Amino acid sequence: SIRTKRSFGDCQLHLEFATPGEVHGDGQHRGNSGVFFMDRFEVQILDSFGNQTYPDGQCASMYGQCPPLVNASRGPGEWQVYEMVFKAPRYEGKELVRPASLTLFHNGVCVQAEREFIGSTEHGKVAKYSGTDTTGPIGLQDHGNPMRFRNVWVRPLGEYDGGE
């Protein structure tokens, strides 16, 4: 896996990816990867074109928490685009006052619209919030599948203060 050296909170992330062109396996064993915000919140990357798997594990799901509104996946080996707006959680002291949320366009189709994460992504465990971090690295997961990425960029989003 790789991750940024810099930490990000609220941000826009553009990512283009291609799952393997030759299909081997099915379910979660087909072009499996992911994007992590703050090392805690995962957006699934998977070859979901004609591939049956559990709903909150398919491409563009908030992994283990929320399936996408629609499967917008292209065929194996084709370039796909994620356009994401991530909003980091907010705390007052140790109290969570705003959960992390995600808006995601997959190949131009809105599949997550300001959807809140119920907590950190943990496979097979109930998600929960811990800590009070509001920034962290962005990572691309290596899940043992030969993935390709290009045109990856991130832009921090700050509160508009009316300044010049």
- Report the chain (164 residues): mean pLDDT per 10 consecutive residues: 95 95 70 91 88 84 95 94 98 95 98 96 85 94 87 87 50
Q: What is the pLDDT, as a whole number, of residue 117?
A: 96
pTM of the model: 0.90
**Tokens 């290596």, residue located:** 142
Q: What is the pLDDT, as a whole number, of residue 137?
A: 97
Find, among 49, 39, 118, 139, the residue nearest to 60 by Cα: 49
Q: Which helix (H) or strand (E) holds 134?
A: none
Assess contact for 112 and 69: CB atoms under 8 A: yes
Q: Are strands 101-106 and 80-87 parallel, antiparallel or unpaired?
A: antiparallel
Q: Which two tokens stand for residue 13?
A: 């992330």
Q: What is the pLDDT, as a whole number, of residue 26?
A: 66
Q: What is the pLDDT, as a whole number, of residue 100?
A: 97
How many Cα atoms are found within 13 Å in the side-chain-facing hemisphere of 54? 11
Q: Distances from the Cα of 57 to the Cαs of 27, 34, 52, 106, in angstroms?
A: 9, 10, 10, 15
Q: What is the 3-state secondary structure (H, E, C) of 44-78?
A: EECCCCCCCCCHHHCCCCECCCECCCCCCCCCCCC
Residues 164 and 157: their CA atoms lie apart, in Å, by 16
Q: Which two tokens stand for residue 146?
A: 């030969």
